[in-house]
């Protein structure tokens, strides 16, 4: 470390023009004065010390901090930690943005930036530690049983929805997170007292982050559908779009979340639960189970602003390819594209050229309404609904992590899209082999994943073929055990945080539900 500091000092001296090579002087006529005592590092001007530390690796910055009080103070300079954070605030050709802020960066103090950077860095260290256990374990309790939950990008906010239409959130940066109401009860909670599984409300959420907003903001699409026709409560057969924004205090720090209803529209009674959905800009993609139709699953693209109201005759586009009509996951992409993943097939479709209709297709309708721009067919590919990651945006591509069988695949979609018909629009690569074939529940990030089984929870770490990190794939095992959970887990790579719903066998009729929160980052508030 000392050698690194010396080389940096010389480089900074040269750059700052504060040092010149010794000049050869003519023969002195008078005796030379005695040499000055050497100048210690701590005697340099503050600006020069800051420039030196800005050139160091974060590990060396922390080591320098331990030398003396002067260097300890300099090591906390904001520009040092801003420089360390900056490479993580934008995507590269081989990786997405890894550090997501909820406020303008100018509002972050040196302490804030240091904590963000060290949490991000220690999350990766904690994930790979030999101890295979979280650095911190917590539990949060909900008033009603959990039907759906989501961990907002950045890992701070956990959203939980119930079958009464109630949406709550937890601030996971708090030492003891408590339940806060985002959307109050909307439906009669009578369904919680019935044990007919067909009367149970199915809840699905999807999120669209607004990156044009200076502060954290996103559109939340949440659907409520019932498998009985007609539904016991007509209001519980609908799709809602909420605008969720960060609530600020006087210092413009985030202290909570607020929600405003943007749109709501009903779903036909004879359509069974929405299996998967996606939202991007003004469009929402919905894939329904349609038991009366020959093709038992229907996928629509809907402009939710046009659909807003209490009628079902809103315009919609039917995505009905010649194969792969039963997707396990769908994702709206830029440029009017839909990426769908089903058994034995992955596809990219352009939905803009599909004519709109205001009604459902005939029951025996089987015609194709669209031909895929790209497809990958593989009979060994049998993904589940939670084995597909969200899209990750690199500087020149859109990527997904997907488990098929015992292999974790990566999908790389060139973006801006390759218009050359000779070159494929996307490619599939292998990220990790011999992963578990039959997890109970799973979640995948860009280079990390986690699965839950009755006898434990496994952590994955896998590099992409073009990644600068050439670490081999890892399979770790935690000591936690969940007997049976209804869904989840959730994973946020930035915070190194995993959320897993509690064992449903321990849930009584009116009991509160519990969610386990595991922090693998070694640094946290």
* pLDDT, average across residues 466-483: 67
pLDDT in tens, 149-168: 999 999 999 999 988 899 99
Do the Cβ atoms of 127 and 448 come closer than 8 Å?
yes
Band (pLDDT 50/70/90 cuts) for residue 36 is low
Query: Which tokens belong to 381?
Result: 């590919």
Greater model confidence, 173 or 14? 173
pLDDT reported for residue 198:
52
Band (pLDDT 50/70/90 cuts) for residue 315 is very high
Distances (CA, A) of 441 to 225, 290, 431, 496, 517: 22, 25, 19, 18, 16
Query: Which tokens belong to 275?
Result: 């299996």
pLDDT at 190 over 80: no
Beta-ladder partners of 148: 161
Band (pLDDT 50/70/90 cuts) for residue 82 is very high
pLDDT at 446 over 70: yes
Mean confidence (pLDDT) of the chain: 85
Residues 6+ apart with CB under 8 A from 258: 182, 244, 245, 246, 247
pLDDT at 360 over 80: yes
> Residue 271, SS3?
coil
pLDDT reported for residue 19:
47
pLDDT at 22 over 50: no
pLDDT at 482 over 80: no
pLDDT at 65 over 50: yes
pLDDT reported for residue 483:
55
d(CA 315, CA 304): 9
Do the Cβ atoms of 150 and 490 come closer than 8 Å?
yes
Task: Dump the DSSP string for 70-130.
Answer: HHHHHTT-HHHHHHHHGGGSS--SSS------SS-GGG--HHHHHHHHHHHHHHHHHHT-T
Distances (CA, A) of 447 to 391, 484, 488, 492: 12, 26, 18, 11
pLDDT at 16 over 90: no
pLDDT in tens, 229-254: 666 677 788 999 999 999 999 999 99
Greater model confidence, 181 or 509? 181
* CB neighbours of residue 216 within 10 Å: 22
Whole-number percent of the chain with pLDDT over 90: 52
Do the Cβ atoms of 257 and 169 come closer than 8 Å?
yes
pLDDT reported for residue 227:
72
Band (pLDDT 50/70/90 cuts) for residue 497 is very high
pLDDT reported for residue 431:
92
d(CA 153, CA 172): 12
* pLDDT, average across residues 276-291: 95
d(CA 263, CA 117): 38
Distances (CA, A) of 228 to 193, 246, 269: 16, 37, 8
pLDDT reported for residue 291:
87
Highest mean pLDDT among 5-9, 129-133, 508-512: 129-133
Band (pLDDT 50/70/90 cuts) for residue 94 is very high
Band (pLDDT 50/70/90 cuts) for residue 301 is very high
Greater model confidence, 333 or 46? 333
pLDDT reported for residue 10:
47
Longest pairwise C-alpha distance within the chain: 109
Q: In what order do the strands lie in the sheet with 157-161?
A: 148-151, 157-161, 167-171, 180-183
pLDDT reported for residue 15:
53
Band (pLDDT 50/70/90 cuts) for residue 331 is very high
Query: Which tokens belong to 419?
Result: 């218009």
């Amino acid at each position: 470390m000392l050698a690194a500091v010396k080389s940096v000092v010389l480089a900074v001296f040269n750059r700052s023009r504060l040092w010149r090579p010794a000049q050869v002087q003519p023969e002195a006529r008078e005796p030379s004065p005695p040499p000055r005592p050497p100048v210690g590092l701590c005697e340099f001007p503050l600006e020069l010390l800051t420039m030196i530390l800005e050139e160091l690796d974060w590990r060396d910055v922390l080591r320098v901090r331990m030398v003396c009080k002067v260097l300890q103070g300099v090591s906390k300079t904001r520009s040092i930690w801003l420089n360390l954070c900056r490479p993580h605030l934008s995507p590269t050709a081989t990786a997405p943005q890894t550090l997501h802020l909820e406020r303008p960066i100018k509002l972050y103090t040196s302490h804030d930036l240091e904590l963000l950077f060290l949490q991000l860095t220690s999350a990766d260290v904690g994930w790979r530690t030999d101890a295979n256990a979280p650095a911190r374990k917590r539990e949060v309790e909900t008033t009603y049983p959990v039907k759906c939950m989501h961990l907002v990008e950045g890992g701070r906010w956990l959203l939980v929805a119930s079958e009464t239409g109630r949406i709550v959130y937890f601030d996971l940066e708090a030492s003891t997170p408590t339940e806060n109401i985002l959307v109050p009860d909307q439906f009669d909670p009578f369904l919680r007292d019935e044990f007919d599984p067909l009367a149970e409300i199915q809840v699905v959420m999807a999120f669209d982050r607004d990156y044009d907003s200076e502060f954290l903001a996103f559109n939340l699409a949440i659907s409520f559908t019932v498998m009985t026709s007609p539904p016991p409560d007509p209001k519980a057969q609908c799709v809602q779009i909420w605008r969720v924004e960060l609530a600020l205090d006087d210092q413009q720090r985030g202290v909570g979340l607020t929600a405003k209803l943007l749109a709501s529209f009903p779903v036909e009674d004879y359509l069974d639960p929405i299996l998967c959905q996606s939202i991007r800009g003004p469009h929402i993609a919905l894939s329904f189970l349609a038991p009366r139709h020959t093709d038992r699953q229907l996928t629509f693209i809907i402009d939710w602003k046009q659909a807003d109201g209490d009628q079902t005759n809103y315009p919609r586009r039917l995505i009905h390819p010649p194969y792969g009509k039963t997707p396990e996951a769908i994702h709206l992409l830029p440029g009017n594209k839909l990426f769908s993943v089903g058994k034995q097939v992955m596809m990219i479709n352009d939905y803009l050229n599909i004519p709109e209709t205001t009604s459902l297709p005939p029951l025996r309708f089987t015609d194709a309404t669209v031909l895929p721009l790209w497809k990958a067919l593989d009979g060994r590919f049998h993904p589940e609904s939670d084995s597909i990651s969200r899209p990750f945006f690199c500087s020149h591509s859109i990527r997904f992590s997907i488990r098929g069988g015992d292999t974790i695949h990566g999908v790389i979609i060139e973006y801006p899209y390759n218009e050359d018909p000779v070159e494929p629009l996307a490619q599939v690569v292998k990220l990790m082999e011999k992963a578990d074939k039959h997890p109970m529940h799973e979640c995948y990030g860009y280079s990390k994943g986690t699965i839950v089984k009755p006898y434990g929870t496994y952590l994955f770490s896998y590099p992409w073929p073009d990644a600068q990190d050439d670490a081999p794939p890892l399979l770790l095992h935690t000591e936690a055990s969940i007997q049976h959970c209804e869904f989840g887990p959730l994973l946020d790579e930035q915070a190194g945080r995993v959320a897993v719903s509690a064992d449903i066998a321990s849930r009584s009729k009116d009991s509160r539900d519990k969610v386990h929160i595991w922090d693998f980052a070694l640094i946290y508030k």
